[in-house]
Amino acid sequence: MFKDLDPILHSQIRLAIMSILVGVESAEFAYLLDNINTTKGNLSFQLSKLKDAAYVDIKKSLKGNYPLTTCTITENGINAYESYISIINDYFKEYRLKKNKKK
């Protein structure tokens, strides 16, 4: 009845990262850190998980004398995100159906 949720995206931090990246061309590490309630170490770890799954590309460069990490969602990441959202919506639809039957 219920489809399995993608375990890579079924994490609060990784889902937050993907939710930001799906709406922008790219995002710097600092921007993600400012908009997600987590630590630098955890954000870095979660980005690595997303990169290993081929959901994001990570580019490291320098901005002046400072390291700059820029993240971009991949086509694979967009497809996985849209599928995840669709499956979650199916969960909610099922709940609404059951709730309406009880009335």
Q: Check residue 54 and report its DSSP letter.
A: T
* Residue 6 in domain: no
Within 10 angstroms of residue 103's Cβ, the number of other Cβ atoms is 4
Q: How many domains does the structure of the chain reveal?
A: 1
The verdict on residue 85 lying in a domain is: yes
Q: pLDDT value at position 22?
A: 97
16: containing domain: 12-102
Does a structural domain hold residue 2? no
Query: Is 22 part of any domain?
Result: yes
Regarding predicted confidence, which is higher, 72 or 91?
72
Is residue 4 a part of any domain in this protein?
A: no
* 26 inside domain: yes
Q: Are 51 and 70 in contact (CB under 8 A)?
A: no
Mean pLDDT calculated for residue range 32-45: 97
Give the CATH number, domain containing residue 78: 1.10.10.10
Q: Which residues of 18-29 are buried (b: 16+ CB within 10 A; e: fewer)?
A: bebbeeeeebeb
